[in-house]
Chain A
Amino acid sequence: MASAVTCDQATLEGDTSQSKLTLLKQGAEARIYLSTFMGRSSIVKQRFKKSYRHPKLDAKLSQKRTGQEVRTIVKCRKAGITTPVVYFVDNDTHSIHMEYIEDSLTVREYIQQIQNSGESNDDERLVSLASKVGTTLASMHNVDIIHGDLTTSNMLLRQPYEDSRLIMIDFGLSQISHMSEDKGVDLYVLERAFLSSHPNTEELFKTVLDVYAENYKKSGEVLKKLEEVRQRGRKRVMLG
């Protein structure tokens, strides 16, 4: 039995040859690798060390954020929102091993494909997509999940795209909050990302908000907050 527990865990942090990690993306907080887990294709999201932070604080922050991210993913699935399956959480290297979504496209790429093919912005596929985004956001906010980084790159569609559910990814900045303020900011972040990534989609985004309003009973308050946030920006004015 002893032999089973002696092998080292350095494979993730340093030597990448053993566990066959391929770097896919690098963000400000974590690296995303493509790998396999028990024979299935997987994604490894590893929060790396920040040398400017005190090591103890660094470990604590990374652990907290990794835990929060997994907790939100599990909560999402419980509420019927599609996310990757979490296979394994490694609290030592602050890594999340999760399902790799095969044959997928980001919503960003999907919209661009349709726009590039010369279709108008009231194309049936786009309207149906907007309504999917609206309902998904409504069910997320209904259980007080704030995604924190809503963009069209953090939403995936699986082939065949037209019939796919919306798959939400990257809950690294997520939190649980019942405040309309936080939900308003969540929508505002998406609005900014949506309109800046996709030209002439004001009408389409309006559909997102309309469907959101229809499916979430506290949407009135949130949309009022969204209006406020639009006036002042994402950060709250904290004077006096």
Chain B
Amino acid sequence: MMTAAEDVSLPSLTFQLELFPETSGTIALFEDVMNVTDLKAMLINKELDAVMLSPKMLVSPFQIMVAVNKALHVHATGHAITRTVNSEIIYSLSPSTNISESFKVFAMGSTDTSVVVIVLDDPDQTKLKCIAAKIEGVCVPLAQLSTHTDEIMIKKKYSISKAELSVGSLEDAVICKMASSDLS
């Protein structure tokens, strides 16, 4: 039975993965976050089972979904580069094979005031609500994500050429770089 308090759900996006039908992912965006440093410490101490990203390097929820899919895949097939699925999600966003660089660029940084939170297997928001309670900020609809996107930075970090943007969107270019990052 749902109580009134549990009924208030946070704005978030939950998605299914075709290749991992037993798993789902949930994405939420927090603005005006005041305690980024504390949150970072909690992540390092494994008190939070979540991924926290800077929204600057994200063009769309699809980009996050692609990263989650790749992270689950390499973990299931034993090709993981990092230790946990959560850290692998951050690494999967990267256009290169440099681990520390990908954390610097994509993970929540100490100067961020907005944070994208990803949790796995949390369709009823149990985990997300727990995490939200520790975030001193406001959970806003994911549609706001694009207002935080730093396109110039994305073009630079993913080294996206003008010609490449003539054949498709920025998102297309980013997805291609992510998919081919571990080839060479």
Chain A interfacial positions (CB closer than 8 Å to B): 1, 3-9, 11-12, 18-20, 35-40, 67, 70-71, 73-74, 77-83, 85-92, 99, 165
Contact = CB atoms under 8 A, between A and B. Distances in A.
Contact of B180 (A8, A36, A70): A70
B153 interface: no
Contacts of A1: 49, 84-86, 120
Contacts of B69: 37-38, 88
Contacts of B19: 9, 11-12, 19
Nearest to A42: B18
A80 B161 CA distance: 9
Interface in B152-184: 161, 163-164, 166-168, 172-173, 175-177, 179-180, 183-184
Given A1-B49, A87-B66, A87-B175, A38 B18 contact: yes
B92 to A, nearest CB: 10
B159 to A, nearest CB: 9
B9 to A, nearest CB: 21
B75 interface: yes
Contact of B176 (A35, A77, A80): A77
Given A6-B76, A7-B21, A71-B183, 10 more contacts: A4-B72, A5-B85, A6-B22, A9-B76, A19-B19, A37-B18, A39-B15, A77-B172, A77-B176, A85-B172
A9 B79 CA distance: 13
Contacts of B43: none
A82 B168 contact: yes
Contacts, number: 107
A19 B49 CA distance: 28
Given A18-B21, A87-B66, A4 B121 contact: yes
Nearest to B17: A38
Interface size classification for chain B: 35 or more
Contacts of B180: 70-71, 74, 86, 89
Contacts of A80: 161, 163-164, 166-167
A180 B18 CA distance: 44
Contacts of B168: 77, 82, 85
Contact of A19 (B18, B23, B77): B18
A39 to B, nearest CB: 7
A85 B175 contact: yes
Given A19-B19, A39-B15, A86-B179, A5 B76 contact: yes
A67 B181 CA distance: 11
A73 B179 CA distance: 11
Interface string B3-26: 000000000000101111111000
Contacts of B77: 9, 91-92
Given A77-B167, A85-B175, A89-B180, A4 B66 contact: no
Contacts of A73: 176
A92 B72 CA distance: 13
B148 interface: no
